[in-house]
Amino acid sequence: MRVYLDNAATTPVDPEVLKEMYHIMENQFGNPSSIHSHGREVRTIVEKARRSVAALLHASPSEIFFTSGGTEADNTAIRCGIIDNKLSHAITSRIEHHAVVHTLEAMEKSGQIKLSFVDVDGKGNVDLAHLENLLKDNERSFVSLMHANNELGTLTDIVKVGNLCEQYEAVFHCDTVQTMGHYPHNVKELKANFIVCAAHKLHGPKGVGFLYVSSRTKINPMIFGGSQERNMRGGTENVYGIAGLAKALETAYTEMGEHQQHIQQLKSYMMARLLENIPGIHFNGETEPEKSLYTVLNVSFPEMEMADMLLFSLDIAGISASGGSACSSGTNIGSHVLNGIGANPDRPAVRFSFSKYNTRGEIDYVVAKLKEILAGK
């Protein structure tokens, strides 16, 4: 049996998304920047996708810019948001995705900004009082805080963060990669200047995403070249990917309630089965449904010899999971997120992340295999 529980890293592509992409690949190959009929047909596909994404977010199509994914979108928002708004102070947390933390640290190292880290508690919750103090005690700031932590699943109240940023005239960038397509996002209510998406986190293709830039925020391009994306991102558009992204997001919104219920039940079932079968486990991050992303469960297991072999043993058993962010795979420095919340480094931790395609039978299989592995069988 093979079980895939690493959906926070990437998801299988929805068959309807594949169908949409194949149709375009087979029939429409023009360059969307060309003015002849072949190009105009493909330009229509791109703009239809932009309108679809914008409508789902209650945004204007002029606020949606297609990118190669979440990392590019984060980098564009951070670098251009800071430089073009002439900001010299930024605030983030130590448990953000490396696309955020490493970008801000590089800007601090080069002398472009002073960087402050807001406190988080042992479950990954942002200390909003400390955030307000940082906003109050510094010049106008750039704030980058994610909606849901990609390793813990802990949700941040980004409406409250946005209100604080508006109060202190800060520029607010929110990494919504893990929650896009899993929760509704209404940019008319969220006081964010930037939010981001990576299609492959919601059953879309890899290598495509988007950056929402509020109409009240003006930035210059990070990638120069042609006049694509209304002069905001040079380079021929990934047309098939953009169409796939739009289809994946449309499908996610249509099926959101049904899938949230199914996946939350799977997560709760796995928590109960683990507690019944494996003494001494600990769940990292928030676990209450209203405070935690329903697709992610991070578990610390009892201390064991060869703890670093747990993921390998799961893989041998046909189970795909991760020890933290997929972007850290292959390193031996451990999870910066678990370090950031003070987790016990001697206990092996595994992130299980679920999708609409997972089943209870798969959960039973995983728990049984974990029990065998931890018993040394």
Structural domain count, the chain: 2
Residues 55 and 115 occupy one common structural domain = yes
pLDDT > 60? residue 325: no
Residues 236 and 275 occupy one common structural domain = no
Residues 285 and 216 occupy one common structural domain = no
* 62, 259 contact by CB (below 8 A): no
Residues 173 and 264 occupy one common structural domain = no
pLDDT > 80? residue 328: no
- Of 203, 234, 251, which residue sits at a domain end? 251
d(CA 129, CA 172): 17
Residue 142 is predicted with a pLDDT of: 98
Residues 54 and 66 occupy one common structural domain = yes
Residues 282 and 333 occupy one common structural domain = yes
Residues 160 and 47 occupy one common structural domain = yes
Range of the domain at 329: 3-11+255-374
Residue 323 is predicted with a pLDDT of: 84
Residue 324 is predicted with a pLDDT of: 55
Residues 37 and 92 occupy one common structural domain = yes
- Mean pLDDT (the chain, rounded): 95
Residues 111 and 218 occupy one common structural domain = yes
* Mean pLDDT for the stretch of residues 254-272: 98
Active-site residue list: 327
Q: Which of 8-17, 250-259, 263-272, 308-317 comes out lowest in average pLDDT? A: 308-317
Residues 301 and 213 occupy one common structural domain = no
pLDDT, tens digit (0-9, with 9 covering 90-100), for 147-165: 999 999 999 999 999 999 9
Residue 375 is predicted with a pLDDT of: 86
Residue 376 is predicted with a pLDDT of: 78
- Of 251, 280, 305, which residue sits at a domain end? 251
Residue 249 is predicted with a pLDDT of: 98
pLDDT > 60? residue 356: yes
Q: What are residue 317's phi and psi, to 5 degrees?
A: -80, 5
Residue 308 is predicted with a pLDDT of: 72
Residue 43 is predicted with a pLDDT of: 96
- Of 226, 251, 276, which residue sits at a domain end? 251
Residues 337 and 194 occupy one common structural domain = no
Residues 7 and 42 occupy one common structural domain = no
